[in-house]
Amino acid sequence: MTETNPSQIEREITPTGESDVAQLQIDHGAFLAYRRRFASRDGAKAPGIVFLGGFKSDMTGAKASTLGEFCHARGLGFLRFDYSGHGASSGNFLDGTISRWFADALAAIDRLTEGPLILVGSSMGGWIMLLVALARPERVRGLIGLAPAPDFTEALIWNALSESERARLIKDGKLEQLSDYSEDPYVITRALIEDGRKHLLLGGRIAIDVPVRLLHGLADPDVPHEISLRLQEKLAAQDVVVKLIKDGDHRLSRPQDLSRLCATVEELVQLSAASRASSPTR
């Protein structure tokens, strides 16, 4: 499995120093759309940044774009991509599961990045971020969750359904739900719910021991801030900070939210540098 036209990818550079949208070939002819930026000489020793988007979102959003600009200014490596069935990637969204999107993230990270990483996960991406950190502990130096939503298929979807809705979901294999973010309803599949149960994390200790920062709005109507507080308790790491934003919504995409995000990335980059200086053999 190889990338499409790698020589062309390197020639097509955006003003943020990222490649233009390229394709990573995965299984059975499918592909993931992505954009990446290689670190400059000054930023080569710092961790690269990977953005993991949310449920039914794509890599063109304000948070991903702002991180692209930030990494360009700091000389940092950066990767953003669309999961299968999202954005410019191939596949049908309704075929997606946590296992599928987790595998997408691993494929993108394993084949498109090198060295240590800081993962930034938004909403569902916060769940994927944790799964990646557990699967690749040798690569991950820090985590930033933006309204992270681990276990959302169970805690926020299945547990919120009525008995009749659950019965219809099981019988029909899918259920439509109205969304504040789209004119079209979200379609929840039985496969998504059942597969999500393979990856639930909040029921026990989460063996991740790197600095973690969780940003969550108190005005978030979709993912209660209590999930970030619970996640803080479950993580093995001691350096875990939850930042609650009184007027913050779920998107956390206002100018002040984006500035806070960049400052948090900068903090973890500096922590990584300090750790490297004190542990030269790491």
Residue 2 has pLDDT above 70, yes or no: no
State the catalytic residue, choosing from 89, 250, 257, 272. Answer: 250
Q: What is the DSSP-derived secondary structure letter of residue 281?
A: T
pLDDT at res. 7:
33
Q: Where are the domains of the chain?
A: 6-150+207-274
Query: Residue 3: pLDDT band by 50, 70, 90 thresholds?
Result: very low
To the query of whether residue 220 is one of the catalytic residues in this protein, the response is yes
> Per residue in 159-168, pLDDT tens?
999 999 999 9
Query: Residue 101: pLDDT band by 50, 70, 90 thresholds?
Result: very high
Which is more confident, 42 or 147? 147
Q: Per DSSP, what are the bridge partners of residue 146?
A: 122, 215
Residue 154 has pLDDT above 60, yes or no: yes
Q: Is 30 exposed, middle or buried (0-12, 13-18, 19+ CB in 10 A)?
A: middle
* Mean of pLDDT values over 86-106: 98
Both structure tokens of 200: 């639930």
Which is more confident, 274 or 106? 106
Q: How far is CA 105 from CA 84, 132, 213, 215, in A?
A: 10, 7, 20, 21
User: Are the C-beta atoms of residues 44 and 100 closer than 8 Å to each other?
Assistant: no
Residue 258 has pLDDT above 80, yes or no: yes
Which is more confident, 82 or 180? 82
State the catalytic residue, choosing from 220, 228, 257, 272. Answer: 220
Both structure tokens of 170: 């099981």
d(CA 128, CA 82): 13
Average pLDDT, the chain: 92
pLDDT at res. 41:
83
pLDDT at res. 5:
38
Residue 271 has pLDDT above 50, yes or no: yes
Residue 62 has pLDDT above 60, yes or no: yes
To the query of whether residue 278 is one of the catalytic residues in this protein, the response is no
CATH number of 6-150+207-274: 3.40.50.1820
* Mean of pLDDT values over 214-242: 98
Residue 6 has pLDDT above 50, yes or no: no
pLDDT at res. 280:
55
Residue 10 has pLDDT above 80, yes or no: no
Query: Residue 118: pLDDT band by 50, 70, 90 thresholds?
Result: very high
> Per residue in 14-29, pLDDT tens?
767 898 999 999 988 8
To the query of whether residue 123 is one of the catalytic residues in this protein, the response is yes
Q: How far is CA 192 from CA 98, 180, 268, 276, in A?
A: 7, 20, 33, 40
State the catalytic residue, choosing from 84, 122, 123, 272. Answer: 123
> Per residue in 194-220, pLDDT tens?
999 999 999 999 999 999 999 999 999
Query: Residue 281: pLDDT band by 50, 70, 90 thresholds?
Result: low
Residue 259 has pLDDT above 50, yes or no: yes
Query: Residue 13: pLDDT band by 50, 70, 90 thresholds?
Result: low
